[in-house]
Structure 1
């Protein structure tokens, strides 16, 4: 990794580590000196990702929506490594479309995995993090800074994890545990590519103002996030322009609404004409749909 990123042999746990951002965060942490525990739903992909992280890596198949299973895995990881220094709550899925036409089960699944899965992850690993005076890192999104039409489930879940992480930081500070939040814009992952296969979502995203309408390469994004995790910064940004969004976030809802008033008739019509698919997007979403979480 670039810069001064160094985990000094510490143990880093990453959820949603079978593919995409999670797999690259795990591999980058391993390259920067960490022993890595990869958690996720797809055993074959997890095993392959762990092999790429070197001999110190191990993997566990676990559903973040199952708190009992997560607690067992947390105990196993702590027993295997003797300590846990960093936990990265990365597991996430997405769906799109107008709320009125959304499938309640799919909508709720996004909230369950993204928000409640992060809560379950924190609860399971906090005992070990208290012992090590470690760091909990919550992957959020640009969606936490500004909500967008046709992304209500994802935006609600990412706003939720941001608020959760702020609350958790205040709760655990006296234990010496730190909490960071990662923000990233559209990044070249299977989830984003899956969303782009829907014409209405692709057109909606292309109509966003620059630089929010771009897809950013995964490698530099991961490097920025890992540097922030290693430094235990409270806010970490995957793209250099995102801190400016914090400054203007109070004005963003009105701006988005003005733009959506012009654009939504076309996007909604395109969505309905295409059959109003409410599937979870990308291969990771498909895995969550198959396994139930």
Structure 2
């Protein structure tokens, strides 16, 4: 006899749900009987993701997670349609790569704005609901929060910041019955990572990592493991068990990375293989380049209808 998921009949919110891990987690949540609010920037992808789910199981809103007023309004719309959420997953994130000195300051800031500020805005908008439902907030972080990665200064800083934010939030709300978790994952086989692999320097950096850190893992597999962590209300969710060991080794990683990077960066510079990537993938482009694919203007919300 199958055991019903504790998520059955609950309302869950997933940001960055248009594609990749966000869409995968939305599917895993609906399979467990949850009603899911899909939030993201790309109307077309959100509509396609929602349409592939059972009727009535999901609804989408196109909104910029870094826009506080729009997110507050979206939270009210989610509440009106589905009731107060019991689960909120802060998954929205973008990446860009290149040497810090040569990086576009506006793009660098936008990565931090989406990945850190967007996470805090999401939590602020939905925390009253989680307090009412004694719910659970999951912040999706990354291996990049645990180990510095050359050419990824904005992404590493933002994922470390999002991790720290979630840990502080946990300390503030645990006594009120709200659980807060941080998800740690290695490379996922998503459109963003595939875009990164088109750049020689990023390919070289990933291939130089020891196995299994160099492997890209299937996104549905990662999404399923993260949602299992949501069911358990885990404080730390590991998409790959070996990442737990990396977290324990965290104090020793910066000097090791710096030592190994000396010859790699020298060789990449010599070969002319280092260049700024711009936002990686269509999701990153939507967050940066004037709202691609009909994504909402600042302060504007698109409702799935």
**TM bucket, shorter chain:** over 0.9
Question: Would you say the 8 A contact 1:184–1:239 is kept in 2?
Answer: yes
Aligned to 1:279: 278
Name which of structure 1's ranges 199-208 and 106-115 shifts more when overlaid on structure 2: 199-208
Q: Once the two structures are superposed, what CA deviation does each residue of 1:185-233 show, in whole Å capped at 9, x if it has no partner?
A: 0010011111111111111111112221111111221111110011100
Aligned equivalents of 2:264 and 2:253: distance in 1?
A: 16
Q: Alpha-carbon deviation of 1:269?
A: 4.0
Question: Would you say the 8 A contact 1:204–1:267 is kept in 2?
Answer: no
Aligned to 1:248: 249
Aligned equivalents of 2:178 and 2:169: distance in 1?
A: 10
Q: Secondary structure at the match of 1:242?
A: helix
Q: Once the two structures are superposed, what CA deviation does each residue of 1:63-122 show, in whole Å capped at 9, x if it has no partner?
A: 011000000000110111122100000000000111111111111110000000000000
Aligned to 1:90: 91
Question: Would you say the 8 A contact 1:106–1:278 is kept in 2?
Answer: no
Aligned equivalents of 1:16 and 1:4: distance in 2?
A: 27
Aligned equivalents of 1:65 and 1:34: distance in 2?
A: 25
Deviating beyond 4 angstroms after TM superposition, the runs of 4 or more aligned structure 1 residues are 2-6
Is 1:145 matched up with 2:146? yes
Q: Alpha-carbon deviation of 1:246?
A: 1.5
Change (3 A) 1:280 1:3: farther
Aligned to 1:33: 33
Aligned equivalents of 2:244 and 2:117: distance in 1?
A: 26
Aligned equivalents of 1:77 and 1:4: distance in 2?
A: 24
Aligned to 1:99: 100
Is 1:54 matched up with 2:24? no
Aligned to 2:173: 172
Q: Alpha-carbon deviation of 1:274?
A: 5.4
Question: Would you say the 8 A contact 1:4–1:227 is kept in 2?
Answer: no
Question: Would you say the 8 A contact 2:27–2:53 is kept in 1?
Answer: yes
Aligned equivalents of 2:79 and 2:54: distance in 1?
A: 19
Aligned to 2:163: 162
Question: Would you say the 8 A contact 2:268–2:274 is kept in 1?
Answer: no
TM-score, length-normalised on structure 2?
Answer: 0.91
Question: Would you say the 8 A contact 1:102–1:278 is kept in 2?
Answer: no
Q: Secondary structure at the match of 2:97?
A: coil
Is 1:10 matched up with 2:13? no
Aligned to 1:182: 183
Question: Would you say the 8 A contact 2:95–2:111 is kept in 1?
Answer: yes
RMSD across aligned positions (CA): 1.7
- Name which structure has the greater RCO, CA cutoff 8 Å, separation 6+: 2
Q: Number of aligned residue pairs: give it.
A: 290
Aligned to 1:237: 238
Residue segments in structure 1 that go unaligned for 5+ positions in a row = none
Residue segments in structure 2 that go unaligned for 5+ positions in a row = 292-296, 299-305
Change (3 A) 1:275 1:223: closer
